Structure 1
Amino acid sequence: MASLPIFMTAVANSSDEPAFPLTFTWSTHEAQVKEVLVIPDDEWLENHNIESNIHDLDEQQLYEFGFEASDILAEWINEFDTDTIYGLEPDILNPLIEATYEIKGLEPSFGVQSIHSWFEERDVNLDDAIAQQGNNTPLHLLAPDELILQLLQIAVEHELINPNDIPAIEE
């Protein structure tokens, strides 16, 4: 298993009743940050709408710039060599990942645990670490790529991961 954890976040079709993903953003084992727009499956759209969201994503943008679930899953299979990834809100992220797998008749090959637990297991209080950085913006309000980069930066600052392994973060 690679040394760097996979941090992931997603934007859902609805903040009240999340049913399918609009975007996924994750860190790689090389500490790169990847983000993809998700083309909504027809089955998802039969039962749910794409509501107004903080990224102003609409159905047209998803079809124009997004990727099919099968393409996203193929990338994850090639990149993720772990059975656990870490997300800010696992209770929201898990169903979005499951929806992406289920639409292709598959089951997720990994589970999602709380990013707070990953830091706690390493004796770092994530909320305190964020406050020490002077960030007053709640994590769930950060842009997905900014969230992932901030988590990687905190991990570096607390010597939980080796900064030499992270070409994307400059100190």
Structure 2
Amino acid sequence: MTSVANSSDNPAFPLLFTWSTPEAQIKEVLVIPDDEWLEDHVIEPNTLDIDETQLYEFGFEASDILAEWTNEFDTDVIYALHPEETSLLIEATYDTKNLDPSFEVHSIHSWFAERDINLDDALIDSGQSTPLHLLPPDEIIALLLQIAVEHGLIHSSDIPETFEE
């Protein structure tokens, strides 16, 4: 999972979440800010140029996002590029409904390491020269899925055709 926060210096709430399903489908959702979030924090300029207007026009309420996650995440652990920040943003989303997340967030680097793959080396070997954190969220997820396929960790038949090379 990847996420974009309201601020790079003081992340308090999510603007966007991107993740892959167990079937390797990539999903991305803008998050309508909870009123309480905006009482204490602002939406700062970000690399994706997401603004408050876009969130209200195209975003989804926390309850809708949580319902989707309940249907898709049948696990105790999900993996993220930046687990600490992503965990904070997930918790903020759950807090809007006075709930606790049903899963923990771990580093995607650890997922690959548990399978004897150094993600940084695998990215270099695949010809990836742009640091992951500088890529758009959906491209990060697609690239991580591709690395997993190249190393036999998931089957290419699991990935939708639009993301295969």
For normalisation by structure 2, the TM-score amounts to: 0.97
Which residues of structure 2 form unaligned runs of 5+? Answer: none
Q: Partner of 2:75 in structure 1?
A: 82
TM-fit CA distance, 1:170: 2.2
Q: How does 1:9-48 map to 2 (within 5 A)?
A: 9-48=2-41
Q: How does 1:1-171 map to 2 (within 5 A)?
A: 8-168=1-161, 169-171=163-165
Alignment deviations for residues 34-82 of structure 1 (CA, whole Å, 9 cap, x no partner): 0000000010000000000000011011000000000000000011101
TM-fit CA distance, 1:158: 0.3
**Percent identity at matched positions?**
73
Partners of 1:159 and 1:18 lie apart in 2 by 35
Q: Partner of 1:5 in structure 2?
A: none
Which consecutive aligned stretches of 4+ in structure 1 deviate over 6 angstroms post-superposition? none
Q: CA RMSD in A?
A: 0.8
TM-fit CA distance, 1:27: 0.2
Partners of 1:23 and 1:159 lie apart in 2 by 30
TM-fit CA distance, 1:167: 2.6
